[in-house]
Structures are given as C-alpha cells and as structure tokens.
C-alpha cells in the first residue's frame, strides 16, 4: 500500500470516529440565552422588543400570536424553525433573511450556537428541558410595576414651553426637562400604569434624563399642556 493511500485511510477513520460537531448542551444554552433575553422572553404571550421564544422549535417564522412588529421579509420567508434554520439565523440573521429588522450581529462560535439551539428546542414547551424556563425567566429583564409607583413618580401634570417640559408629580414638585432629554412612552401591559395615571421613570437610552410612561397614546395629547407662565 502506498503512503498516499495510507494517509487517505487514516483520515477517513478519523472522520468516522470523530463527529463533525458536538451535540448542543441545553444547560450551557441556558447561559448563552443571556444574549437573547434583553429582547425575547420565554413565557408564552410575553413580548418585549422581539416576540416570545416559547415553543419556537417547529414553528413557522413570523407567526407568533400577538406580536405585530415582524418585518415583511421575515413573514414572507416561509422558514420553519428547526436546528438548521435556527443555527443559520443565530449565526447571522441578515445572511439567512436579508432586510429583517433584528439588530443582532450573530454568534460566530458553532458550539455556542448548538448549545443555544438545544436550549430553545424545548424552552417554554410543556415537558421541556428541565430548568430551562426558570433560567430564561431569571435572565429576562423584569419591567417595573408602574401601578405601584411612589408619589414622587406619579405624574399629575405636564406643561410644555418653548423647548422644555415641566413635569408636576404627586408630591407637588415640578421637574424641568429639555425636550430632547424626555421620552414619552406607552406601556399597555399588566405592568403598565393605570389609565390616566402616567409615571415618571428613569432614562432608557443614552442621552435621556427620564421617561414618562402612559397607559395608551391618547393620554399623551391630553396630558401635555402647551403654555408658558
């Protein structure tokens, strides 16, 4: 037998004995899920910036009930989430579905992706991976319960003058904000403010000093009074 054939046989034996990639570890995947948790919850029906990932495996892309912010590209992709498509999506979303709206650069490490896919395969499903839903809930950020806001955060009036907002809270204190530093938001979830009772919260983005959260958009125009004293 020639040396070249010996090399070929040895290489073939090595490939047969060694898997191309190790199977995913759902326990490690629960830790890797931390990169997803800021935008995706695992509880069914709980949507954040992105849709809930509960029971994602085997589901057609862009079809989670109650989530309405999918890109047209994702909804028209006809992709079904399985090990292959999830791996490709997590590796580089734009490569799998161009012009999607997910601002995520991807995970280049193949083993980390395999672990995350193994975790997501049963996450949120009945009888799923032991410990996975609890781990996901621990990592998913909890939004504040705005109905329980203290008096110093309960907004009673908002006055707008020139380039400034003057926010009166329940303690009687008036807080001035440059208009570009104050964000007006809405939260219609169970944790959101009661109707007609907006809440002043901390800044959510760089450059902001504070946010005022309303129960629905109609309240914003009713609350903000444009006048100078």
Domain ranges of the chain: 21-139, 146-226
Quick one: average pLDDT of 5-12?
Answer: 41
- Model confidence pTM above 0.95: no
Quick one: average pLDDT of 128-139?
Answer: 43
| 113-117, 119-123, 165-169, 216-220: least confidently modelled range | 119-123
C-alpha 86/C-alpha 63 separation (Å) is: 15
Examine the pLDDT at 211 and tell me if it is beyond 80: yes
The contacts of residue 172 (CB under 8 Å, 6+ apart) are none
CA 42 to chain centroid, in Å, comes to 10
Q: 43-63: per-residue pLDDT in tens?
A: 999 899 899 999 999 999 999
First vs last C-alpha separation in the chain: 99
Residue pair 121/30 in contact (Cβ under 8 Å)? The answer is no
Residue pair 18/11 in contact (Cβ under 8 Å)? The answer is no
- Give which of 178, 29, 37, 195 is closest to 109, Cα–Cα: 29
CATH entry 1.10.357.10 includes domain 21-139: no
- Give which of 160, 175, 179 is closest to 223, Cα–Cα: 160
Planar angle of CA 32, 24, 46, nearest 5 degrees: 45
According to the model, what pLDDT value does residue 122 have? 87
Task: Give the Cβ contact number of residue 126 at 10 Å.
Answer: 6
Task: Give the Cβ contact number of residue 187 at 10 Å.
Answer: 19
According to the model, what pLDDT value does residue 178 have? 93
């Amino acid at each position: 037998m020639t040396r070249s054939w010996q090399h070929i046989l040895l290489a073939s034996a090595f490939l047969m004995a060694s898997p191309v990639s190790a199977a995913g570890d759902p326990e490690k995947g629960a830790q890797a899920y931390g990169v997803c948790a800021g935008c995706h919850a695992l509880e069914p029906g709980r949507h954040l910036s992105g849709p809930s990932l509960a029971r994602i495996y085997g589901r057609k892309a862009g079809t989670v009930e109650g989530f309405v912010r999918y890109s047209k590209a994702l909804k028209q992709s006809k992709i079904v989430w399985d090990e292959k498509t999830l791996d490709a999506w997590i590796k580089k979303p734009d490569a799998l579905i161009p012009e999607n709206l997910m601002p995520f650069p991807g995970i280049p490490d193949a083993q980390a992706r395999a672990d995350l896919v193994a975790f997501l395969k049963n996450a949120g499903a009945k009888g799923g991976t032991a410990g996975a839903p609890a781990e996901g809930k621990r990592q998913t950020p909890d939004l504040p319960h705005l109905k329980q806001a203290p008096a110093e955060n309960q907004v009673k009036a908002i006055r707008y003058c020139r380039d400034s907002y003057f926010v009166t809270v329940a303690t009687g204190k008036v807080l001035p904000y440059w208009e570009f530093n104050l964000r007006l938001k809405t939260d219609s979830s169970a944790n959101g403010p009661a109707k007609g009772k907006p809440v002043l919260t901390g800044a959510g983005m760089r450059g902001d000093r504070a946010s005022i959260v309303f129960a629905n958009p109609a309240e914003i125009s009713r609350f903000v009074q444009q006048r100078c004293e």
